[in-house]
Amino acid sequence: MDIHTGSRTWHAHAKINLALHVTGRRPDGYHLIESLAVFTRFGDRVEIALAEDDDFVVSGRYAPAVPVDASNLVLRARDALRQAVGQEKTPPVSIKLEKNLPVASGVGGGSSDAAAVLRGLVEIWALDIDGVELARIGLSLGADVPMCLAAKPLVARGIGDELSMVPDFSTLGLVLVNPGRSVLTADIFAALARRDNEALPQLPRSIDFHSLRNWLEITRNDLEPAAIAMQPAIGRALSWLNKAGSGFSRMSGSGATCFGLFETGNVAKRAAAQIRGRQPDWFVAATRSIASEGADGQN
């Protein structure tokens, strides 16, 4: 008999590294970074309900690329939280993942899915657990999970686990483009010419389209040159964004997803339609970023 009491849905927002500087390397091999990241309204969706037995189903455009075994971060997040609080407080759940983001594409899709599951299960299971403990569990799953739990404009340092929230950060109009080619993060880092680059410059006092564009011009994604060398289609994606009128274009994370910055959400939608018309097989999405607490969310 099905005992679920109704399902709820959580958004798994795409993570966009607006700038990413590689600043060093730890003895254990982990790279040190400084990154300004925002999270978009477009992303995956996670639906969770109590059930008689644990269940996991994946749908959506990119479902065929998603493993459904214990290697999936969604299931690892469920199991890590269950282990942390105890079996008696964590009855079986049905988890449905709608995979709208390309897999392994530099936008933190898997990490954001895991973060959404952690947030959702805390509510479904009515757990008394604070954000610090949840972030600790998230970090055990991957360096990007704590920032995906925060899902607001932030600067990430260390291996990505030292987070500083950025105030007064307005909503941005963005277009995301992925040419359907994959690059391995480990290969990109291995190909870096240097790993001791300078840190991010100081952020503007207030961030909007114009101040951010000017700031981005003096920053980098240190992974982008190596990624383009390995996968020239990334360069073509950036070129299409520029042709469509992007105010600033760059690769996110280790690629291959690129973003274009647009002054309004409506301009971004027109640009996305233009690129989609010329590259119908690519992943193209117009979206808006999530503003910081108290910032103007309109753009």
Q: How many Å apart are CA 297 and CA 275, to the nearest integer? A: 26
Residues 6+ apart with CB under 8 A from 61: 99, 100
Q: How many Å apart are CA 178 and CA 283, to the nearest integer? A: 5
Q: Is 15 a catalytic residue?
A: yes
Q: Which candidate in 113, 144, 161, 222 is catalytic?
A: 144
Q: Is 243 a catalytic residue?
A: no
Cα radius of gyration rounded to whole Å, the chain: 19
Sign of dihedral through CA atoms 281, 73, 290, 236? negative
Active site residues: 15, 144
